[in-house]
Structure 1
Amino acid sequence: MGRATASKGSILVSGASIAGIAVAFWLDRIGFAVTVVEKSSGVRRGGYPIDVRGTAVEVASRMGILSQLRQAHIESRRMTFLDADGGVAAVVHPQGLSGGVEGRDVEVPRGDLTDVIYAAVDDEVEFVFDDSIAELTDDQERGVDVTFHSGRRRRFDLVVGADGIHSRTRELGFGPERQFHHYLGYCVAVFTVPNSSGLSHEGLVWNTPGRGAALYAVRDSTELHAMLTFAHPEPSFETIRDPLAHRELIAAAFADDGWEIPALADGMRQASELFFDSVSQIRMPNWSSGRVVLVGDAAYAPSFLTGQGSSLALVGAYMLADALATHRDHTMAFAAYDSTLRGFVELNQAQVGVGAAALFPTTAEALEERNEALRGLAERSRDAGRPAHTALTLPETDLRQRIGVAGRD
């Protein structure tokens, strides 16, 4: 008998994000019939390199995917920081900058992580692409009635929102984003440009007060991941949603800068895909409401400045599934998920301003202080790690062992 037949109930996961496919992996294994709905045409591939650190490494091990992630590890060798004229201000090892532990933590292209998890998700998980939630009606007693943008209607026992920092599920179940959205003072644009400079296994970070640019070479790729970050008053939600406004805002912010910035600005204008957003966190007093619960960025986005988004997604997915496996009642399970994970989330959100999160000072004095600190990082041990990354210990009993599936890799 398949797990869907012997199900504990039906769950809709909104969003095939890292958090979404990871929680689908675990929910299927503990006996739920799982449906994942994703507005895009497939699981998102490509994207900037991401880190799996600390407790999230143990989650990857329990999923049985850690060996594959180690094979995909990028092994970045150095980050070179440049001043406004392109002169070298500091050179550091990426692990020393991020607080990662060499030999334990892994850095992989985002698409590699999603591909590995997606391949591990059981065939019994139903994926519905090119669709999304339009309306939710939680009647508390019987389930959640969902209307999709396609017009289809279905009822589920529970709904998990894993649809990112601008979560539609959160808006429907908890209210407008503004009450949970905490702006950190910057906007960021990410795109790709040709690797005309011959960078390999390394990154460059250019700074002037209030603005920064980064170029990142994944191995010997012919393309570079480019990022432009700038301090700015909080943009309106209308601006965030307007692709034309994005390019105009970025171009204006970097209009008078030198070094390679004009070429990067041209690359940004010509990029076929441009990711733009405010640099923000999501902070919520509760991650569940009735039969709806949130995981990953939808519940507790830490911002890219912490480098912990993917790790929080993996750990959050595991802890939510563990709570649902432990408690028969979803209300008790959601309360346990919140109480066991919240401290870990808050510690990692507080990493804003620490290490890599302090890369974009807004004054000349703060920038010089940052450069001095970076030069000191050259001597830092790369096997110490940052305490926040391991501040949560997973339940002693491996969830896979508890449900009778082969153990860790």
Structure 2
Amino acid sequence: MTSRVLVTGASIAGPTVAFWLDRAGFEVTVLERSPHLRLGGQNIDVRGSGREVLRRMGLDATLLANGTTEKGTRFVDHADATIAAFPAGDGSHDGPTAELEILRGEFARILVESAGPRTEYRYGDRVVGVTQDAAGVDVTFATGTADRFDLVLFADGIRSSSRELVFAGEAETTPVGLYTAYGVLPKGPSDDGWWRWYNAPGSRVANLRPDNLGTTRFSLSWVSADSGYEGASTERVITALRSTFADVGWEVPRILDSLGPDSELYVDYLAQVKAPRWSDGRIGMLGDAAWCATPLSGMGTTLSVTGAYVLAGELARASDHRAGFEAFEARMRPFVDQAQKLPPGVPRVAHPKTSVGVAAFRTALRLAGSKPVQAVSSKFLGPDAATLELPDYEFDNAG
């Protein structure tokens, strides 16, 4: 069986698959184009089968202890009065706020710190060339170096440049028509332990969420055509946000006033990735590079963690890499397809355009708030079932 594996991307899917491949006896190199581990980012959550994978890794308690402390989700009006409130889940049942809510950077840090003895992390480099033959894969890097591996796994995000070296033009990237800008605020007197969601006419939404680092995370979302803000200068993004949200009240002026050249600001035009295949010979892909479902699904991290476990397990027990990749795709494809089926009307259902639409949305929330959390979770989290039956792979005896 193969022994040396290159994994691109040190966010969630990459470190998780590296963890399990190491347990199976593989030698793993994780490559990250950033010069250091990226510790920024917003809240992410893990549900269902993803939580079970973390338990099998022995990390569930550590991740919970480093969570954001979010108590639940409150939908509010312009005066910050609560329209409807949904407490955090307890693991067996999750609403908009899952039991495990954690900052992306904190999650990545804990995953990297859990790396096994056969795993190496390399920073500040990226793959620029890939050539494979029957016995292995020759990889060239942006720094001018080269190496040979038995397998290569791309786990470096929705716009993976590595993926395009092998699967050029195959992955269909479909925008959902929603921009979201994410950033960090100093914690203010009105910030508590709840995620606060505010709707404004014009299909605009503002969110404030607690973290465990003494700050507050914000996001501003708006339905729009693609305007090229991804990759744009910070100055251009700030100008767009101030123009788009200029007349919005609540806490939005506070958010806009905080923006400056040094702001930790990230903007994303949400899109799904659908690829007809996830492997080519000795090269595979997983996570958002293979199947991004968008944050609107509520399933992105769960899919990444679950897919990493399944891929490592199938490669560990297969007779060769081809059989491993085939078994991985057969097991994961139905789960991914289900997660990518966003609820009808998303994202506009939660981003009403008119004042009448906002009022109707709030009425629906009040009704939903009078029922169990299940009544609203399916509207915001995509598939009702966030669980895939996980095989019991014999990692410690493989490789």
Q: Assess same fold via TM > 0.5.
A: yes
Contact 1:187 1:230 in 2 (8 A): yes
1:319 deviates by 0.8
Aligned-partner Cα distance in 1 for 2:179–2:97: 33
CA pair 88-39 structure 1, distance change in 2 beyond 3 A: same
1:284 lines up with 2:275 in the alignment: yes
Deviations 1:216-254, CA, capped at 9 Å, x for gaps: 1225x5321010111111234xx4222243333322222
Q: TM-score with structure 1 length normalisation?
A: 0.86
1:68 lines up with 2:62 in the alignment: yes
SS of structure 1 residue aligned to 2:296: coil
1:234 lines up with 2:230 in the alignment: no
Contact 1:159 1:292 in 2 (8 A): yes
Q: Which runs of 5+ in 1 are unaligned?
A: 1-6, 405-409
1:390 lines up with 2:386 in the alignment: yes
Aligned-partner Cα distance in 1 for 2:42–2:344: 21
The counterpart of 1:149, out of the listed 125, 142, 145, is 142
Contact 1:192 1:224 in 2 (8 A): yes
CA pair 256-382 structure 1, distance change in 2 beyond 3 A: closer
The counterpart of 1:196, out of the listed 183, 188, 194, is 188
Deviations 1:8-52, CA, capped at 9 Å, x for gaps: 321100010110000100111112211111011222224212111
For 1:162, the aligned partner's letter is A
Q: Which residue of 2 aligns with 1:3?
A: none
Q: Which residue of 1 aligns with 2:109?
A: 115
1:302 deviates by 1.2
Deviations 1:296-352, CA, capped at 9 Å, x for gaps: 111111111222211111001001111101212212211211111011112112245
RMSD: 2.9
For 2:386, the aligned partner's letter is T
CA pair 277-356 structure 1, distance change in 2 beyond 3 A: closer
Deviations 1:253-273, CA, capped at 9 Å, x for gaps: 223323332331232335532
For 1:147, the aligned partner's letter is T
For 1:222, the aligned partner's letter is G
Aligned-partner Cα distance in 2 for 1:41–1:325: 31
Q: Percent identity?
A: 33
CA pair 389-113 structure 1, distance change in 2 beyond 3 A: farther
Q: Which residue of 1 aligns with 2:332?
A: 341
Q: Which residue of 1 aligns with 2:41?
A: 47
Paired positions, count: 391
Q: Which residue of 1 aligns with 2:285?
A: 294
Q: Which runs of 5+ in 2 are unaligned?
A: none
Aligned-partner Cα distance in 2 for 1:121–1:352: 37
1:151 deviates by 0.5
1:166 deviates by 1.0
For 1:313, the aligned partner's letter is S
Aligned-partner Cα distance in 2 for 1:352–1:366: 18
1:365 deviates by 4.2
For 1:161, the aligned partner's letter is F
SS of structure 1 residue aligned to 2:304: helix
CA pair 159-94 structure 1, distance change in 2 beyond 3 A: farther
Q: Which residue of 2 aligns with 1:321?
A: 312
Aligned-partner Cα distance in 2 for 1:304–1:180: 17
